[in-house]
Amino acid sequence: MIDYPPLPPIRTGLRGLCPRCGQGHLFDGFLTLKKKCEVCDLDYSFADPADGPAFFVICFTCVPAVAFACWLEVEFNPPIWVHAVLSLPVVLLACILPLRPLKGWLVNSQFFYKAEQGRIDRGYKAETRK
Residue-wise pLDDT tens digits, 20-36? 999 999 999 999 999 99
Q: Is 107 domain-assigned?
A: yes
Express each pLDDT in 50-106 by its tens digit.
Answer: 999 999 999 999 999 999 999 999 999 999 999 999 999 999 999 999 999 999 999
Structural domain of 38: 9-112
**13 falls within a domain:** yes
Distance CA 73, CA 40 (A): 52
Q: Are 66 and 83 in contact (CB under 8 A)?
A: no
128 pLDDT above the threshold of 70: no
**Number of domain units in the chain:** 1
